[in-house]
Amino acid sequence: MNDSSPTQPSPFTQSPPELGNQYRDDPLLGGWLSRTLPPAVLRDLEPELDELGATAGGPLYRLQLADRRNEPRLVQWDAWGNRTDLVEVTPLWREAERLTLRHGLVATAYQRELGRWARIAQFAKVYLFHPSSDVYTCPLAMTDGAARSLLESGDRALIDRAVPHLTSRDAATFWTSGQWMTETTGGSDVARSRTTAVRDGGRWRLYGRKWFTSAVTAQMALTLARPEGNPPGGRGLAMFYLELRDQDGRLNGLRVDRLKDKLGTRKVPTAELTLEGARAELVGQPMNGTRAIEPMLAVTRMWNSICAISFMRRGLALARSYAARREAFGKPLADQPLHADTLAALEAETWGAFLMTFLLIELHGRQEAAEIDDGQRALLRLLTPLTKLATGKQAVAVTSEVVEAFGGAGYVEDTGLPQLLRDTQVLPIWEGTTNVLSLDALLRSDLHAGMAALMGRVSACVRGLEEPRLAAAGRQAVGAVERAALWLQSSHERDVLQASARRLALTIARALQLALLCEHAQWLLKRSDDRRGFAAALRFSRLPVDLMHESDPELDRVLLGPVPGEAGRHSPRGGQKS
Ligand SMILES: Cc1cc2nc3c(=O)[nH]c(=O)nc-3n(C[C@H](O)[C@H](O)[C@H](O)COP(=O)(O)OP(=O)(O)OC[C@H]3O[C@@H](n4cnc5c(N)ncnc54)[C@H](O)[C@@H]3O)c2cc1C
């Protein structure tokens, strides 16, 4: 060894972010639950939340990182040439099923003794579980939605047959459900569906192709098909119940063609299916299936919203932990004013999205317990699409920024951060895209009642504000929602109305979030002089809330149209004039 050579410094290694108990570390969840739930309900629920918080931030999170490269596998044939179409899921998914049953992640919603608190109890657990579950929540959402749809169908035989399985806490009897709507002709415009239903004695046989069927490991599915002779369009579709396999495990007249190769949710086996005479039961009338399946969508959109806020919370938990450990320019990132400013904006978004989502959940619980008035019902109908679309967008923005908050490490697969962003990116797409839900929310016939109820809720939030800066932020929320309502009341050309729908929907959602933030902040100040809510509300009020601006569909068409004089170049004949 050459004594004159400089000593090599030992290489620096960065300590990774750490997650603690995800329940104890989340004062927003704890605070909101203690503000909302009767003390006895919270007392009974809390030990389970504490256990789930520890699991999700500890062993399940570690298993998720270790399981990163595993993906589901479709085994189409057995050694003897029999078609099997079995899907092997990942080890984490098997653990996720065990936890689902232990904590009743679907079953809790159907625990009658919890009354109108059942949905809050269920979703507080799901909120903790979801980000460590590799989106096992996808089949759970559809399972929950199927149970609700069957219960609302009133079909006693099908309810007795399937609902006890869907709401079971026992691995031997538990079933999950699929929701097969999307076909190659469209997922937004399902009225174009081409699957047909043919009578076969007292039952039906289905023929067609379903283009996206998530978690094809399910035992049953609710699907749409057009009974022979029915007219085209949504009214001509009917809702059907089918089981995927018979008692011996043989497929029920269907084929799993392949699993999709997706950007994210890669642990979720999403399949393309061919129905070749699958035996099915009609649920309800042999038409109006798009209406019959609405309870399913109301539930799955609520799950989508909870998954959005829970991904946002997970991203922030990781980013905040990292900011305390990572140093740059002489101090931890957390002490760099601009990094703190960046994370504070993400926190404010997360708080707003959280409060809106739990309002939706609270209203849903009231409806199922038949403790809801007309105004609350109208608000629930409007909030279902609004919350899904707003939180989906917020979640993608937040997790994208979280990735950047880690610098280069955020772009590296084995930190788990790219997966967080990729999995989040599905939330604005499935269960209705942002545009389609904006139109759904704002072009519906009962919009007037929904807006009146929403404005009433915003005013109620603002009425009790004593802190002057909160009161000013509250007035900002009222102003934004009033301007949106006024815009809706004035007459607009249909194109302008449609072109503005997303901006309008997001404005209404953000105004409500700001009002809810102010209300919660005032409560926190009064209860314990806790200024976190105040900080979140003020920060949110400085972010864009009113997103409305003039729409000019004609000018947009110019922008998107062909380059003047060059239109011919893009013609199939290469622009050659004959
Ligand atoms: C991972 C994954 C899993 C899925 N699992 C399932 C499943 O289990 N079951 C199931 O049924 N489906 C499933 N889907 C399908 C999903 O619900 C659809 O992809 C979605 O509803 C959009 O439908 P589409 O893909 O046909 O897009 P399209 O309907 O073709 O829409 C394309 C674009 O056009 C926009 N658009 C459409 N109409 C309008 C309009 N009138 N005005 C303005 N913009 C418009 C949309 O917003 C979108 O941006 C899954 C999708 C993914 C990605």
Question: Helix 91-103 and helix 59-66: axis angle, to 10°?
Answer: 160
pLDDT at 568 over 80: no
Q: What is the pLDDT at residue 575?
A: 43
Residue 434 Cα to ligand 1 midpoint, Å, equals 10
Q: 42 is written with which tokens?
A: 């919270």
Reported confidence tier of residue 8, pLDDT bands at 50, 70, 90: confident
Rounded to whole angstroms, the Cα distance separating 363 from 380 reads 6
Residue 43 Cα to ligand 1 midpoint, Å, equals 41
SS3 236: helix
Give the number of the atom of ligand 1 that is nearest the alpha carbon of residue 182.
11
Reported confidence tier of residue 337, pLDDT bands at 50, 70, 90: very high
Rounded to whole angstroms, the Cα distance separating 145 from 297 reads 7
Q: What is the CB < 6 Å shell around ligand 1?
A: 178-182, 186-189, 212-214, 262, 265, 270, 426, 429-430, 432-433, 435-436, 439
Residue 424 Cα to ligand 1 midpoint, Å, equals 15
Give the number of the atom of ligand 1 that is nearest the alpha carbon of residue 215.
8
Place of tokens 């098997």: 94
Task: Report which of 398, 376, 380 is spatially closest to residue 388, judged by C-alpha positions.
Answer: 380
Reported confidence tier of residue 195, pLDDT bands at 50, 70, 90: very high
Reported confidence tier of residue 521, pLDDT bands at 50, 70, 90: very high
pLDDT at 511 over 90: yes
DSSP 179-224: EE--BTTBSS-GGG---EEEEETTEEEEEEEEEEES-TT-SEEEEE
pLDDT at 380 over 70: yes
Rounded to whole angstroms, the Cα distance separating 250 from 440 reads 40
pLDDT digits (tens, 9 = 90+) for 42-56: 999 999 999 999 999
User: Which has the higher per-residue pLDDT, 196 or 575?
Assistant: 196
Give the number of the atom of ligand 1 that is nearest the alpha carbon of residue 189.
29
pLDDT at 566 over 70: no
Task: Report which of 257, 281, 260, 278 is spatially closest to residue 270, judged by C-alpha positions.
Answer: 260
Residue 426 Cα to ligand 1 midpoint, Å, equals 10
Residue 430 Cα to ligand 1 midpoint, Å, equals 6
Looking at residue 275, its amino acid is L
Q: What is the pLDDT at residue 247?
A: 92
pLDDT at 578 over 50: no
For 37-76, letters b (16+ CB in 10 Å) and e give: beeebbeebbebbebbbbbbbbebbebbeebbebbbebee
Looking at residue 342, its amino acid is T
pLDDT at 525 over 70: yes
Q: What is the pLDDT at residue 183?
A: 97
Q: What is the pLDDT at residue 574?
A: 45
Q: What is the pLDDT at residue 258?
A: 97
Q: What is the mean pLDDT of the chain?
A: 95
Virtual torsion, Cα 256, 260, 265, 268, nearest 10 deg: 10
pLDDT at 577 over 60: no
Q: Is the dihedral of CA 354, 355, 360, 366 positive or negative?
A: positive
pLDDT digits (tens, 9 = 90+) for 74-116: 999 999 999 999 999 999 999 999 999 999 999 999 999 999 9
Give the number of the atom of ligand 1 that is nearest the alpha carbon of residue 268.
1
Reported confidence tier of residue 484, pLDDT bands at 50, 70, 90: very high
Percent of the chain scored above 90 by pLDDT?
94
Q: What is the pLDDT at residue 444?
A: 84
Residue 432 Cα to ligand 1 midpoint, Å, equals 6
DSSP 135-188: TTHHHHHHHHHHHHHHHHHT-HHHHHHHHHHHT---TTT---EEEE--BTTBSS
Nearest CA to ligand 1 atom 18: 187
| Overall pTM > 0.75 | yes
Residue 429 Cα to ligand 1 midpoint, Å, equals 6
Rounded to whole angstroms, the Cα distance separating 49 from 127 reads 10
Other CB atoms within a 10 A radius of the CB of residue 27 amount to 12
Reported confidence tier of residue 3, pLDDT bands at 50, 70, 90: low
Give the number of the atom of ligand 1 that is nearest the alpha carbon of residue 429.
20
